[in-house]
Every structure is written in structure tokens, then in C-alpha cells.
Amino acid sequence: MIVDTASAVSAFGASTHDYDALTDDRILELGAAIAAHERAFGLVKAQHAAQVARRSRREFGHTGLAARNGFASPQKLLQQVTKVTAREAGQLVSLGNAIGNAEATRELLDNGVTQIGEVPVETTWDEPICQAVTTGTLSIECADALRRGLGTPDGEVTAERLRELATELLARCGELPADALFQHARAERDLNDIEGIAARQQEQYLQGGFRLFSKANGMYGYAGQADPESAAVLLGALDPLTSPRRGGPRFTRPEDIARAQAIVDDPRTTERITLDGLVALVKAGGGVNPQSMSSGDHTLVKVIVPVKAVETAGADRRGTAAQGFGFIESTGTTVSVGTAEADLCDSGWQEVTVDDCGTPFDAGRARRLFGRRQREALAVRDGGCMWPECPHPPAFTEAHHIEQWKRDQGRTDLDNGILFCRFHHLLLHNNHWELRRDTEGRFWLTPPSAVDPDHVAILLESKNLLTRARQRKNGANVGSNGDPNMGPFETGDRARCSAGSPG
């Protein structure tokens, strides 16, 4: 397979002149060929890493492969020999061992061995993932993302259930990039293990940290990572400083237009503006009396939860099986109902109420632009830019009229609104894509002839992964709950958005 995929890649050319001569279609074909080769070669890398690890086992002592060559661990040997990072070396060893275990278990079962001693022989939970890597349909990075996102079997989620989830995700999301796969996998794990959300959240919190260090050139470097809740606070504080440069929404009020243009025209780099803003925030925070309570005006951070989860948590700390969680709007990360309760105590809350028709705050033709409360409701429903595979969160989107305001005399109502980032909003208008909402409440995007001469419509799905997963779990249509007029939650349900400052 490796020879075939390598030949396919090399057939596109060997020099800059060859690649310059490729048509746009051939360039796209080259990208697909490269991906196929990387998937095939990834299997070899994983198998190699597994062999290095097996031949360097602890029981071999100084006679093991790694130790014999002067390395303290198989990962260190891999780093030196194959020039990969420490993270990639660990990833390859873990996946290579998983593939070996899955193959060994499958061989035993195929030979009729169902028990060794008193231990039953069972298919490994990640066998579908390992099989996808072995057949060259899944990359190493995507396999690692799926395994990390789904976690490991425990008392709440069995190996059989994880195997089912892995199979479903491969069928539904197998073509997505690794980071998107991780998000989908984590959403599925959270819905199947709501009681474990708090523990996973705490684990991420403890992994967070920040380090400042001096460099030889007189500058200072910094490194670290933030848990999703901390990242949401930082993003909420820092994004407004640079978002006009990074595809943020357009503005209509003169003062907002002027402020955005000033950011675009600022001679400083985007990174310099962000650092200056961070330093300013630290200076402002340093002047606060540590003995006094803060005023309660916080960075705008929204944690969206079904209101029943908040209302029932006081009587039942576990919440409810279907609703005992929330998620951070800006990062799409799950949080426990306890976190939502803490935000409710510490922050101002802004309520978005969805009526039985799922259409709050309609404005009809009286107003052209969607209002703030309508945008809040659209953010809950759509979860960000609805264009396929676009990762932009709600803060980077604009509300588009499905039946356009001028051309179609469309109304400024929620069921006629949808969120797109600025790039895709302009692309839709300028390149003549068409959008419609069917009788089941789903959104369909039809490409122009230049993109697809057959005009095959594309189903748009909410970027709120937990809403989508809940809808699938409840047997509802993606994009609605089965009712053609409904929003993201069940009939009569409401959502609360925690907002640290008035919007």
C-alpha cells in the first residue's frame, strides 16, 4: 500500500515547475493523494513504535533495545531516531500497542479461544479505530483524537458502549480533521457519562498552567495551557481587541465601525495588541483591593444549560440524566451543572426564553437587523457559523436572513435567521449560494453552478455538538427537534446564558 500511495504522490511531479503547471483540480487531487499516503505511512510508524516499546520493556533492563542504545525510554529513542516530538512519540507507542492488542485479541477469538485461565477474551473497545488505521482510512492523528475524546471504559461507560460510539463516529465523522473529531468524541462521551463530566473538568483544570521565562535575546517567553473555562475568560477578554482583523462580524453603528477600523489600522502586530491588552488587564487587576469583593462585572462568558438542570440541581446534586450539564458557548466545551451553579451565584445571568414554537423575540418586518436577544437565541440554536466545517464561534458570526430582507421581503424572525461568519456570509451573497429551511426545520445550502453543476443541496448542522448529540439520542432530526418550528431544546424548555456583564 505504501508503494502505491507513494507512486500516486510522485506522479504529480518532482519540481516546482511541475507543480506550477497543475490545474486547480489537480492540486486538490494531490492533497487527497498526500493524505492517503500519510495514512498508509502512519500505520508503519505506529507499528515501528510498538516494536520499539515491546523490545524495550522494563523486564529486559539494560538489555532492552532503548537502554542498550543509551536511551532511558522507547519514547526517547523514537524522538532521536525518527525526529518526532515527545508527544508524537507517546502517541505512536500508545496507538501501536492498541493495534497489536486488537489484532492479538481478534486472532484468539477467530481461533475459538474465548477465555484464558479465568479471564474472558473480549474484543478491545478501540478495535474499530485500530481497524480504520490498519486499512488506511484513518490517520494517526485522527485515531489518537478519537481515543482521547472517548476516554477509557469504566463503571459508567462499558467497553461495548465505547466500541459502539467509536463505530458510529467513524461512520459519521471519519472525514473530519483531528481536532473536530476530538470534539465530537468528547461530546458523545459526556452525554453517555454525565456523572463523569465534573471529574474530567477537574482533570483539565489541574493540567492548566502558565510559565514565564527569560531568553538569551533579552526577551521573555511564556508557555502553558489553559483549561476550557479559563480559556473562555481569556478569549472573552482578548478577542474584542483584535477580532476585526481576524474575521470578526461587521458593525452598523458609526462608533463601532470607527473602533473596528482603528484596530485594523493599528500599526502594531495582532500579537502585540493582544499582549498589550493582557498586560493592561493584569495592571488593572493588580490595583484591586484583595480584601474587597469585586463589583461583579466580569468578562462576558456564556455557559448555556437547560434551565431544568439548574432548577433541579438544588434538590438533586446529580441533576437529571439528560440535562445535568452545560457548555461554554465560546469553546463548545462541556461543564458540570455544579460549574453552572457557581456561575449563577457569581455572575449576572441573562435568560433566553424559547416558547413552545421555539421563536422568541420576533421582529417581523418592523426592523431589518436582528436584535441582541434574537442573536442570543440564534447562538444557542446554531452554536456558531453554520457553514459546513467552519469552526467560528457565535461571537464571530453575523445573522443572515434566509429569505433575504430586500430580495425576498424576508422577516426578521428567528425561524428566518441563521448564523454565518463574515467570510461565509459574504461568500453566500457574492457567489450566489442559496439557502432554504424545509418543513422539518432543517437548513439546506445549495451551491452555485460554478461549484456544483448539479446543485446538490447540503444539510447544515448546528455547531452545538451537545445539542446535536441530544437530538440524535432522542431520535430527532439534526437541526431541529422534530417539530418544524422548534429551536435547540424540547418543547417548552428554556435556556439560560450566564453573562458576566450586561450585553
What residue spans define the domains of the chain?
A: 2-192, 372-487
Q: What is the pLDDT of residue 37?
A: 93
Q: What is the pLDDT of residue 58?
A: 87
Q: What is the pLDDT of residue 193?
A: 86
Q: What is the pLDDT of residue 286?
A: 64
Q: How far is CA 61 from the centre of its chain?
A: 42
Q: What is the pLDDT of residue 491?
A: 28
**Per-residue cell: 125:** 473497545
Q: What is the pLDDT of residue 316?
A: 44
Q: What is the pLDDT of residue 303?
A: 60
Kindly write down the DSSP assignment for every residue of 315-357, as one continuous string. T-TT--TTTSEEEETTT--EEEHHHHHHHHHHS-EEEE---TT
Under DSSP, the state recorded for 267 is S
Q: How far is CA 2 from the centre of its chain?
A: 31
Q: What is the pLDDT of residue 405?
A: 65
pLDDT < 70: residue spans in the chain: 285-332, 337-370, 405-407, 466-467, 469-503
Q: What is the pLDDT of residue 304?
A: 59
Distances (CA, A) of 451 to 25, 385, 429, 446: 12, 20, 14, 10
Strand partners, 328: 303
- Looking at residue 19, its amino acid is Y
Under DSSP, the state recorded for 305 is E
Q: How far apart are the first and last CA of the chain?
A: 56
- Number of CB atoms found within 10 A of residue 275's CB: 15
User: To 5 degrees, how large is the angle CA 114–CA 133–CA 225?
Assistant: 110
- Decide: helix, strand or coil at residue 306: strand
The Cα–Cα gap between 156 and 13 comes to 53
- Least Cα distance to 132 among 178, 166, 159, 176 occurs for 166
φ and ψ at 183, to 5 degrees?
-65, -45
Q: What is the pLDDT of residue 475?
A: 55
Kindly write down the DSSP assignment for every residue of 365-378, as one continuous string. TS-SSPPHHHHHHH
- Number of CB atoms found within 10 A of residue 284's CB: 9
- Buried b vs exposed e over 193-209: b needs ≥16 C-beta within 10 Å? bbebbbebbeebeeeee
The Cα–Cα gap between 326 and 332 comes to 10
Strand partners, 222: 212
